[in-house]
Structure 1
Amino acid sequence: MARNKSASDRITQRDGIFYYVRRVPIALAHLDERGIVRLSLRTDSWVAAVNAAVDAERNLEALWAALAKGESQSAWDRYKAAISRAQLEGFVYRSAAELHDGPLVDLVKQSKAAVGRGSDKSARRALLGAETPPAVTLSDLFAAYEQVTVPGQVQKREDQKRRWKVAREQAWREFIDCVGGEVEFADLTRSHSRKYRDWLAARVVGGHITPETANKHMMLVSSITSTMATEYSLDLPSLFSKLKLQSIQRRRPSFTREHVEKVLLGAGALSGLNKTARMAVYLAVETGMGAEELCALRQEDIRLDSLVPHVRLTPRTGATLKTEFRERTIPLVGVSLLAAKQVPAGLERYFDKAASMSTAINKYLRSKGLLPTDKHSLYSLRHSFQDRLNEEKAPERMQADLMGHAFSRETYGDGHPVAQVRDVLAAMAYRFDLAAIDLC
Structure 2
Amino acid sequence: MATSTADYLELRGKTYYLRMRVPAEFADVEPLLEINRSLKTRDRVDAEAKCANARAALFAEWRARRAGKAADTRAIFDTSIELLKGWGLTFRPLDDLLTGPIDDLLSRIELIASMDLNSAAVPAALGTLDLPDATLAEMAERMPDLKEAEIRAKNPRQLREWCGNYKRAAKDFTAVIGKRTVLKISEQDATDYEDFWKKRAKSGQVTTNYANKQVRYVRQMINAHFDDIRLAKSKRVNFFEGLGVAKLSYDPSDDERKKLPLPEKWICGRLIGDRVLEGLNQQASDISIIAAICGCRASEIYDIPEEDIHLDAPIPHIMLRVVLEGEDRRELKRGSTSRAVVLLGPALAAMRRHPRGFARYRGKASFSGEVNGYLRDNGLFPPLPQGTSGRYVISGLRHSFEDRMDAAELSNEERAHLMGHSIGKLRGRPVYGSDLELRVRALLQELVGIEGDGWKPRPRKAIRAELDRLREEAGFRLE
TM range (shorter): 0.7 to 0.9
Could you tell me whether the CA contact under 8 Å between 2:260 and 2:391 is conserved in 1? yes
2:441 maps to: 421
What is the letter of the counterpart of residue 214 of structure 2? Answer: H
What is the letter of the counterpart of residue 284 of structure 2? Answer: A
Q: How many angstroms apart in 2 are the aligned matches of 1:119 and 1:24?
A: 22
Could you tell me whether the CA contact under 8 Å between 1:203 and 1:209 is conserved in 2? yes
Could you tell me whether the CA contact under 8 Å between 1:309 and 1:332 is conserved in 2? yes
What is the letter of the counterpart of residue 369 of structure 2? Answer: T
Q: How many angstroms apart in 2 are the aligned matches of 1:332 and 1:352?
A: 22
Aligned residue for 1:29, secondary structure, equals: helix
1:243 maps to: 243
Q: How many angstroms apart in 2 are the aligned matches of 1:402 and 1:22?
A: 66
Q: 2:104 aligns with which of 94, 100, 110?
A: 110
1:128 maps to: 126
Could you tell me whether the CA contact under 8 Å between 2:349 and 2:453 is conserved in 1? no
CA distance 1:329–1:107, change in 2 (3 Å):
same
Cα deviation 1:17-54 (Å, max 9, x = unaligned)? xxxx999541332665xxxxxxxxxxxxxxxxxxxxxx
Aligned ranges 1:281-430 → 2 under 5 Å: 281-316=288-323, 317=325, 318-353=329-364, 355-366=365-376, 367-370=379-382, 372=384, 374-389=390-405, 392=408, 394=410, 399-408=415-424, 409-412=429-432, 414-430=434-450
2:206 maps to: 209
% identity of equivalent residues: 23
Aligned residue for 2:366, secondary structure, equals: helix
> Larger RCO: Structure 1 or Structure 2 (Cα < 8 Å, ≥ 6 residues apart)?
1
How far off its partner does 1:164 sit?
1.9
1:171 maps to: 169
How far off its partner does 1:142 sit?
3.1
1:7 maps to: none
Q: How many angstroms apart in 2 are the aligned matches of 1:204 and 1:416?
A: 40
Could you tell me whether the CA contact under 8 Å between 2:182 and 2:225 is conserved in 1? no
Cα deviation 1:145-168 (Å, max 9, x = unaligned)? 344345544432222222222222
Q: How many angstroms apart in 1 are the aligned matches of 2:320 and 2:110?
A: 60
Q: How many angstroms apart in 2 are the aligned matches of 1:349 and 1:420?
A: 33
Q: How many angstroms apart in 2 are the aligned matches of 1:421 and 1:139?
A: 47
C-alpha RMSD over aligned residues: 3.7
Count of aligned positions: 380
1:40 maps to: none
Q: 2:160 aligns with which of 137, 159, 162?
A: 162
What is the letter of the counterpart of residue 104 of structure 2? Answer: Q
So what's the TM-score if we normalise by structure 1? 0.73
Q: How many angstroms apart in 2 are the aligned matches of 1:426 and 1:80?
A: 60
Matched, 1:28 2:53: yes
Q: How many angstroms apart in 2 are the aligned matches of 1:411 and 1:25?
A: 55
Aligned residue for 2:444, secondary structure, equals: helix
CA distance 1:226–1:269, change in 2 (3 Å):
same
Q: Structure 2: where are the runs of 5+ without partners?
A: 6-45, 456-479
How far off its partner does 1:407 sit?
2.6
Cα deviation 1:118-145 (Å, max 9, x = unaligned)? 5477776445212220343445433333
Cα deviation 1:50-74 (Å, max 9, x = unaligned)? xxxxxxxxxxxxxx99668554556
How far off its partner does 1:393 sit?
5.4
How far off its partner does 1:332 sit?
0.5
How far off its partner does 1:173 sit?
0.8
Could you tell me whether the CA contact under 8 Å between 1:66 and 1:77 is conserved in 2? no
CA distance 1:220–1:139, change in 2 (3 Å):
closer
So what's the TM-score if we normalise by structure 2? 0.68
Q: How many angstroms apart in 2 are the aligned matches of 1:339 and 1:308?
A: 16
Aligned residue for 2:129, secondary structure, equals: coil
What is the letter of the counterpart of residue 185 of structure 2? Answer: L
Aligned residue for 2:341, secondary structure, equals: strand
